[in-house]
Amino acid sequence: MPSNSKAYDAASLSVLKGLEPVRVHPGMYTDTRNPNHLAQEVIDNSVDEALAEHASQIHITWLDGGGLCVEDDGRGMPTDIHPEQGLSGVELILTQLHAGGKFSNQNYTYSGGLHGVGISVVNALSSRLTVEVKRQGKRYQMSFESGQKQSDLIVLGDVSKQETGTRVTFYPDPQFFDAPTFDRAQLIQVLKAKAVLCPGLTIYLHEGDHTQHWCYPLGIATYFESLLNELQVAPKSGWLGSDEADEFAVQWAVAWRLDGTPSVNESYVNLVPTAQGGTHVNGLKAGVCEAIRQFAETHDRLPRGLKLKPEDIFSRVNYILSVKVLKPQFFGQTKERLMNKGVTPYVSKVVEHALSLWLNQHMQTAEVLVDLCVELALNRLKQAKKVVRKKITSGPALPGKLTDCTLSYDQDSELFLVEGDSAGGSARQARDRDTQAIMPLRGKILNTWEVSSEEVLASQTVHDIAIAMGVDPGSDDLTQCRYGKVCILADADSDGLHISTLLCALFMKHFKSLVRDGRVFVAMPPLYRIDVGKMVYYAIDDADKDRILGDLSEKDQQRAAIQRFKGLGEMNPSQLRETTMAVETRQLIQLTIEDEYEDDAMLDLLLAKKRSEDRRAWLEQKGDLAKT
């Protein structure tokens, strides 16, 4: 160690308290492109009061100077002193991360605000914030600047006991956002959708003397019809349905475009928009596709040998999907994608059964829809025949273990590098033959981090991977690349993670052009299967298993049967297809480069033989952070 290095001891550790972590790393807590997500956090709190049937009106006001005011007629934030923290409920909610009334089901059955960080993040990233609460015959006020308390909670005066509610006024701090102003058009769309999905709630938007308001007593039906407008769709007013279970509720509107007009697709979880979809959208797609397939086969509407693919059925679908989840799990604090695994099978089965019944009750429309899907499938096959798959006409032949795909554009085709021959056999049966190629790998791949690109082909495994992909190690030329995606598929245990790491290192070192082009992914197979009666859940790891079990009722927890997969080869093809390979239900993590220098430095620390001493020191310092 260099003599001028500083000692690494307890005194060198930094502890961020209160709202400091948010101001230091705002991107970990919110979308920093603009302040819209701050507005949505405040609005979601008011909407949650409406969902709990404690509020009927929300008023949003644009303010001079870039601020926003959100007021509801809900119960009002608690103003009494917390027995353990010694702070008023208002101060606790606005100054402490992970403090709120949504961690149990006592105050809110369904809520969009979940993690207890939303309104405190708004406070941390606002230059000024003032909250007023009407509760128990009093009107209270408290103010903050840059997350710091400027006044204690004070009583401004008396109000009638019937008057209740919360008003939050805040001014986002421009230093934390790429664009310091709200995207008003996007926020207006969010407000309209929340009014739609919460029938009876009236939302007012004020700017000076001008006021807009939205209220949809009939909810999703009226809204969906207005979105379709003059579009040529079938059924004309859409197909609507809903269902409610112990832990979930779902509502949808679906219509097929008869021409090539743009899609109208929106999804929500507890009224929070999920721009990136998630497990609820996966369930909708799976249910719709299965119902259409069954109808087409039962009523002999398919040409001989033709199989409908998901893109044939769903590419022309317009939909609005709204689910309510007792304990929603989102990917990231911005809540743009739902992660709850149990939502997919629930939505899929409900939609499949409802659509199957509807199709058989509306035969004329059903035949129009199936004929449209068949037409799209035939067009796909015609186009695929025009574009012949790239085949190696000179040089080495394709590896013998490679089971290639057949009819596909290159950008749609996928190569799965699968750990083990047994898993490779299951993957071959589970795959989509048109678009998915399988190449099993035996044992752990060579650590290629310190091997030059000229020498790395001495490894037979690396040689076969390079030949299958059509890309030479170290080359930036992707014109001969044969696949749009390369997916690493290894067991969910520690050995599988080791193999995935070595393969990621191979791509980062010798096929970085594929990574830069966004073509390398890691598939996320489940480690556990959880059976609760007729419901089946899959968990990626122990934490995911604990979350799923935590979402179940105490009775269901006791009767849950948990199976731990020893490896991919233990899963039957249908399970592997559903959980890991089917486009509608799988989860892929894209290998990306955030900072090339730092990424390479970390891989060098973890994999280079010459860095063994540095690696040991790093493990001694950070080993306790590893997830088991």
> Tokens 């390369």 belong to which residue?
486
Catalytically annotated residue among 419, 551, 578, 584: 419
> Tokens 């994608």 belong to which residue?
337
Beta strands in 498-621 (DSSP E): 520-523, 528-532, 535-539, 561-564, 588-590
Catalytically annotated residue among 20, 53, 495, 517: 495
d(CA 303, CA 310): 17
Find out whether 414 and 484 touch, Cβ atoms under 8 Å: yes
410 flagged as catalytic? no
Radius of gyration of the chain (CA): 27
495 flagged as catalytic? yes
Q: Is 120 helix (H, G, I), strand (E, B) or coil?
A: helix
Find out whether 504 and 448 touch, Cβ atoms under 8 Å: no
Find out whether 328 and 114 touch, Cβ atoms under 8 Å: yes
- The number of residues in the chain equals 628
The string of DSSP codes covering 452-511 is -TTTGGGSHHHHHHHHHHT--TT----TT---SEEEEE--SSHHHHHHHHHHHHHHHHH-
Catalytically annotated residue among 266, 491, 544, 584: 491
419 flagged as catalytic? yes
d(CA 628, CA 625): 9
> Tokens 């899963």 belong to which residue?
571
Asked if the peptide bond before residue 235 counts as cis, ω within 30 degrees of 0, the response is yes
Find out whether 490 and 496 touch, Cβ atoms under 8 Å: yes
d(CA 288, CA 273): 21
d(CA 24, CA 40): 21
**Alpha helix (H) residue ranges in 336-397:** 343-361, 363-386
**How far from chain centre, in Å, is Cα 221?**
26
Catalytically annotated residue among 311, 493, 556, 604: 493
**How far from chain centre, in Å, is Cα 455?**
40
Query: Which residues are catalytic, by number?
Result: 419, 491, 493, 495
